[in-house]
Amino acid sequence: MHSYIVPLVSFACVSLVMIVVWIWAYRIKNAGVVDIFWAFNFTVIAAVIWLMAEGYDARIKVVCILSGLWSLRLGIYLLKRVGSHLDVEEGRYKQLREEWAPNANRTFFIFFQAQALSNVFLAIPFFITAANTDASLTMLEYLGASLWFVSIVGEGIADWQLKKFKSNPANKGKVCEYGLWNYSRHPNYFFQLMIWISVFVFALSSPYGWISILCPITIGYLIFKVTGIPMTEEQAVRSKGQLYIDYQKTTSVFFPWVKKAN
């Protein structure tokens, strides 16, 4: 099988998913559902790799299990979060809807397809390693897989702590400073970046694995400059006001082990 078949089939599948999701988003007027299926699409890609890739079976299983575990955990978390208020679109998507008016729905269609393309782009390390026929796992792969798993757990803990904080009615309108959020304003983003760094480490032992460096670089750029921290903090300041501004003064923007002095 040609090496480009698995990525092409993967893109066809996730693109179709995003078309269906866009139709749903159009009907309920909530583009935020794209986040849910962006996460779940990595499970779709893992399934395609599992069924079609021709590399070393053990390596394929590690890639598919870890990517599927992360994808399902994040997807289910977002399904619960976004699904709890389908009638209310999240602030950042409201902002985009206003900026893209009067052609917001058409632009959102392009945006949804771009998300599908980003799924496939970020899965480059998966495609590379799943095509590796070397019948043994290297120390780099063991290291990458271990770091990958720890990062999945860390991201899950950060999301759970935020959810627990928000579930308490007494915290309405307050800023979460619970657990990891006491040290970093974005521990979830920190572990998300660590996931892609660990994927890169895992891929390094495979031919052309160095290409995977594009993934953590891209994720890092998005987190720090585009849709991650900038949009999240702008929305937090709009919704929390001075409380969040004070929080910014006492916490690290990113690294969870750094606590600023009051």
Q: 53-91 pLDDT, tens per residue?
A: 999 999 999 999 999 999 999 999 999 988 888 888 887
Whether 49 and 130 have beta carbons less than 8 Å apart is answered as: yes
State residue 27's pLDDT score.
Answer: 93
Angle at 36 between CA 142 and CA 235, to 5 degrees: 105
* C-alpha R_g of the chain: 19
Over 90: is that where the pLDDT of 243 sits? Answer: no
Phi/psi of residue 32, each to 5°? -65, -15
Confidence of residue 45 (pLDDT cuts 50, 70, 90): very high
Q: How far apart are CA 43 and CA 179, in angstroms?
A: 29
Over 60: is that where the pLDDT of 257 sits? Answer: no
Most confident of 19-23, 53-57, 91-95, 231-235: 19-23
Nearest one of 87, 111, 108, 110 to 97, comparing CA atoms: 108
Cβ-based burial of 139 (10 A; exposed 0-12, middle 13-18, buried ≥19): exposed
171 versus 45: the higher-pLDDT residue is: 45
Q: How far apart are CA 201 and CA 190, in angstroms?
A: 17
Confidence of residue 51 (pLDDT cuts 50, 70, 90): very high
Residue 27, C-beta contacts closer than 8 angstroms, at least 6 positions apart: none
Stretch 127-146: mean pLDDT:
94
Whether 59 and 129 have beta carbons less than 8 Å apart is answered as: yes
Return the exposure string of 223-243: e unless at least 16 CB atoms fall within 10 Å of the residue's CB, then b. Answer: beeeebbeebbebbeeeeeee
State residue 1's pLDDT score.
Answer: 60
187 versus 228: the higher-pLDDT residue is: 187
Residue spans of the domains in the chain: they are 1-136, 137-262
Over 60: is that where the pLDDT of 175 sits? Answer: yes
**At 259, is the secondary structure helix, strand, or coil?**
strand
Beta strands in the chain (DSSP E): none
State residue 96's pLDDT score.
Answer: 86
Query: What tokens were used for 110?
Result: 């392009």
Q: Which residues pair with 259 in a beta bridge?
A: 251
Most confident of 4-18, 93-107, 179-193: 4-18
What is the reported pTM? 0.85
Task: Tell me the pLDDT of the chain averaged across its residues.
Answer: 88
